[in-house]
Structure 1
């Protein structure tokens, strides 16, 4: 019922954003708002863009913001007995949860987000999901995610083991996601986040190695390149949760590789390969669901108007230079892999994502 209510609220938000309405000037700000209750979020936005996201850059902090949003929210079970979902427990109980192996490296974004929330009088649960929506908007081609404000701070610790690991089997991953209320299709939609992800903790010998060839663009390339035949072992050798990569300078997660080839998820994976619009639609819907896990949406305020509009990505999906259709390991039995243009020139080495 809560998810149906959320879908209704998101639909209403779309109408509001598409229809001219009277706007209120926000105090001490250059911004105006349809809902005056959202004015303070523009202050958070300005601070976040300038001091966390390095001037609205789709960089390392943007990648980390999406990661913490998932790790915080997925600590949830439809059967109970786990955490409170998107409730900030990963920050509120950071002394415990940030020590979990699956959360390695998240302290780099958790600390700055905590400071931002404290400075602006916001809850940690809100600041986590707000940062994820802003991060996606900062990446060309990104979706404009809804943002609902008003989550109370966490009251209980999320136990270890709620975040799927990259070395888990597909059965284990799908079971964990189902326990949190997500279908296999929704899981693959959430993995669109890997289009702007980079390795820091899986293989510490290659920090900043991206998961696809365009790590500053929210695009479908990860759904193309994970299906390419492998030629490369990055870093100092394969680490736990890592498999051979298709390009020098890329990293490929074991879980992505397996999910892209499993009969339960392969066709959804392939459907995004040449359809950025479909990917963004499905990603937005899945993220909207993730962002309110454990919350009563009736008690939240729709402040989606604060989220910036992402720049367009005008580059269509492609095969990297030096690759050909025969290099694709198509795994969807029902549909052949789509024909994509090939980048001109010799095969390239992908540069790491620079730290900021």
Structure 2
């Protein structure tokens, strides 16, 4: 099936949705078990690849759509139900491909799962094949969304640190929790910051949930992987990777730099802080007392023995030390020639010619 056909299918989703005819029962976890198995086997396929990255990104873009000032439903699945509206938001650029990938699975199971639960279930399951990732708690029972999210609630990579911290603070997130959420960039990539090079990883090798993102962003930038002058992008230190302006500035701001540095050398800490932060994100706009813990549906991701290292050819002298209370530690340098990281294979690449 072509990308165009899949996208058309997703954009038609609101036309075929049906509201659940009765309230979910305490047996909801058993009901959702086949959904989880289908996603694990037929969407993610045991790979920490593009489908997994997209599902994890969708958690954030759906859940952050809430504000005490302008409203919104938070983690309610509105990005699926009202996709025709929300995909037009500039900050959601590129999510049409994500929904084209996940949309058919939601259509298949929509009789037993709400769009809000589907987004969160897929996102939690997406980490199952990523070595080093934590197991994220999943709760079910979100009602159908009532309206689209308001625009301009998703932080952009060109936003200032003040703007990003204020946006998150408005929904109850402290600076260390924001940095914890950015651990997701360890297995993520950019499709639209520089549209000439889709699938470019963020300052890391995007198949392992490790500390590379936190080390590499502190290295002095020297190059662009594609074109220069793109909004929200600054120079990176590793060829083939893309550095977001927001990551660069958060890594060097005194309010967040020390947390960033802690994660750079402590993978277990990074994982342990990410899990509660992303679970907190999944509860935005929801009453936890109305939800059922179905975390048994989420497999434990494979373990990772992470040894923090500088990339080949990089040393402590290349680090832009930013934490005001602790020096960046000296680390070993990986052997070998300078890295040239390949783009992330796109989930729809096999269908482009069909």
TM tier relative to shorter chain: 0.7 to 0.9
Q: Which runs of 5+ in 2 are unaligned?
A: 1-25, 348-354
38, 56, 62: which is aligned to 2:46?
56
In structure 2, the partner of 1:292 is: 283
What do residues 41-71 of structure 1 show as CA deviations (whole Å, max 9, x unaligned)? 2211221122221x12100111111111101
In structure 2, the partner of 1:186 is: 177
Aligned residues: 320
2:191/2:197 contact within 8 Å kept: yes
Structure 1 residue runs of 4+, over 6 Å off?
none
In structure 1, the partner of 2:76 is: 87
How far does residue 103 in structure 1 lie from its aligned partner after superposition? 0.3
**Which residues in structure 2 correspond to 1:127-206 (within 5 Å)?**
127-206=118-197
Where 1:192 maps in the other structure, the secondary structure is helix
TM-score (norm 1): 0.87
80, 89, 102: which is aligned to 1:100?
89
In structure 1, the partner of 2:35 is: 44
Mapped partners of 1:353, 1:196: distance in 2: 10
How far does residue 113 in structure 1 lie from its aligned partner after superposition? 3.2
1:114/1:124 contact within 8 Å kept: no
Mapped partners of 1:215, 1:59: distance in 2: 8
204, 214, 220: which is aligned to 1:213?
204
Q: Which runs of 5+ in 1 are unaligned?
A: 1-34
Where 1:52 maps in the other structure, the secondary structure is helix
1:196/1:212 contact within 8 Å kept: no
Where 2:251 maps in the other structure, the secondary structure is helix
Mapped partners of 1:59, 1:279: distance in 2: 20
**Which residues in structure 2 correspond to 1:235-254 (within 5 Å)?**
235-254=226-245
**Which residues in structure 2 correspond to 1:216-227 (within 5 Å)?**
216-227=207-218
How far does residue 157 in structure 1 lie from its aligned partner after superposition? 1.7
Mapped partners of 1:213, 1:72: distance in 2: 25
| Distance 1:36-1:84 versus aligned 2 partners, 3 A rule | closer
How far does residue 342 in structure 1 lie from its aligned partner after superposition? 1.0
| Distance 1:234-1:112 versus aligned 2 partners, 3 A rule | closer
Where 1:272 maps in the other structure, the secondary structure is helix
TM-score (norm 2): 0.88
| 1:260 to 2:251 alignment | yes
Mapped partners of 1:152, 1:114: distance in 2: 18
What do residues 188-208 of structure 1 show as CA deviations (whole Å, max 9, x unaligned)? 110000001111011111111
How far does residue 80 in structure 1 lie from its aligned partner after superposition? 4.5
